[in-house]
């Protein structure tokens, strides 16, 4: 079946919003690395594609008021090369090279990966781990939505009809913070079977004062492992404690089975990769505290 759709390329956010508001099944396209495969498979059948690549000021990377602001049109390859991202948000910098391959990262965008909301995606997991904030612009104005509320279910977000994701804000890393993302893949660049993103912050005397752990591939959205985080805060970080926290995280999970892995395998591997991510984050955090 040949996909038939209208194509428009607005030059402003307002024009794009108006196009989306008039067409309920319109889709935004930027890099096309997520949307075009869905169209080719017949899983998405938009009547209108709204190409936002000509819109100015959606491709910035800057620090502002303690946050790293990344425009929705920033390409993965550009973010991968950014020294600002590397210094201010190491977890994001570490996750980006895991996305697809070089060709995918040359076209794919930060906003596209976030808005696509694949529960196996690296960037949604990073966003949930760090409590990133999504800036949405639509017919009713601008609103900021935290990651915990943005990802609703599989490939579904809090974006309302007519809204566009224009920017993602990540907190700038604090002194004494360590980060790591680890994922189980069949081949480099494949979608993860499970992934774990971790962030730990230490005081100068080595005490863990903040713990964040997000898991991907174990639910319809990336999830925070709150009980596991509570195990770590305020206690000396030891290998035994890390194993305990990872086990607690795994016990909370109810993953589905699919062609890639059984539910039991996903749960077991989530524990393994959570422990590895936490251990790496702890080592890095203590080295900088």
Chain segment 203-247, per-residue pLDDT in tens: 988 889 999 999 999 999 999 999 999 999 999 999 999 999 999
Is residue 186 predicted with pLDDT exceeding 80? Answer: yes
Q: How far apart are CA 54 and CA 135, in angstroms?
A: 19
- What domains, with CATH codes, occur in the chain? 6-51 (3.30.43.10), 61-171 (3.30.465.10), 177-288 (3.30.390.50)
Is residue 7 predicted with pLDDT exceeding 80? Answer: yes
Indicate the burial class of 89 (C-beta count within 10 angstroms; 0-12, 13-18, 19 or more). buried
The residue count of the chain comes to 289
Paired with 224 in beta bridges are 214
- Tell me the average pLDDT across 11-40: 93
Q: Where are the beta strands (DSSP E) in the chain?
A: 6-8, 27-29, 48-51, 61-64, 67-71, 133-138, 141-146, 151-153, 156-157, 164-171, 177-184, 194-202, 208-216, 223-224
Query: 3-class SS at 206?
Result: coil
Q: Please say whether the beta carbons of 165 and 275 come within 8 A.
A: no
Tokens of 247: 């086990």
Output DSSP code: residue 175.
T
Is residue 2 predicted with pLDDT exceeding 80? Answer: no
Sheet strands side by side (includes 194-202): 177-184, 194-202, 208-216, 223-224
Q: How far apart are CA 196 and CA 24, in angstroms?
A: 35
pTM to 2 decimal places: 0.96
Give the model's pLDDT for residue 204. Answer: 87
Neighbours of 188 (CB within 10 A): 9
Give the model's pLDDT for residue 1. Answer: 59
Q: Please say whether the beta carbons of 227 and 155 come within 8 A.
A: no
pLDDT in tens, 86-107: 999 999 999 999 999 999 999 9
pLDDT in tens, 131-180: 999 999 999 999 999 999 999 999 999 999 999 999 999 999 999 999 99
- Tell me the average pLDDT across 53-63: 97
- Please state the separation of Cα 180 from the chain's center in Å: 14
Give the model's pLDDT for residue 115. Answer: 97
């Amino acid at each position: 079946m040949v996909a038939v759709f209208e194509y428009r390329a607005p030059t402003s956010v307002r024009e794009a919003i108006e196009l989306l508001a008039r067409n309920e099944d319109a889709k935004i396209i930027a890099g096309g690395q997520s949307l075009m495969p869905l169209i080719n498979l017949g899983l998405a059948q938009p009547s209108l594609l709204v190409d936002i690549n000509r819109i100015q000021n959606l491709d910035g990377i800057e620090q502002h008021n303690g946050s790293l602001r990344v425009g929705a049109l920033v390409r993965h390859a550009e973010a991968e090369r950014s020294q600002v991202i590397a210094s201010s948000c190491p977890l994001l910098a570490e996750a980006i090279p895991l996305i697809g391959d070089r060709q995918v990262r040359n076209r794919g965008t930060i906003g596209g990966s976030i808005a696509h909301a694949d529960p196996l995606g690296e960037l949604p997991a990073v966003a949930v781990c760090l409590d990133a904030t999504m800036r949405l612009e639509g017919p009713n104005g601008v609103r900021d939505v935290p990651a915990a509320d943005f990802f609703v279910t599989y490939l579904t977000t809090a974006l309302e009809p007519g809204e566009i994701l224009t920017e993602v804000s990540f907190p700038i890393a604090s002194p004494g913070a360590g980060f790591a993302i680890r994922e189980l893949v069949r081949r480099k660049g494949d979608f993860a079977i499970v992934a774990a993103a971790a962030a730990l912050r230490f005081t100068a005397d080595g005490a863990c004062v903040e713990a964040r752990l997000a898991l991907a591939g174990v639910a319809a959205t990336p999830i925070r492992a709150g009980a596991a985080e509570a195990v770590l805060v305020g206690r000396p970080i030891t290998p035994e404690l890390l194993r305990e926290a990872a086990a607690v995280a795994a016990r909370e999970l109810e993953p589905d089975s699919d062609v890639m892995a059984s539910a039991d395998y996903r749960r077991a591997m989530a524990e393994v990769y959570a422990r590895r991510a936490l251990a790496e984050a702890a080592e890095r955090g203590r080295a900088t505290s």
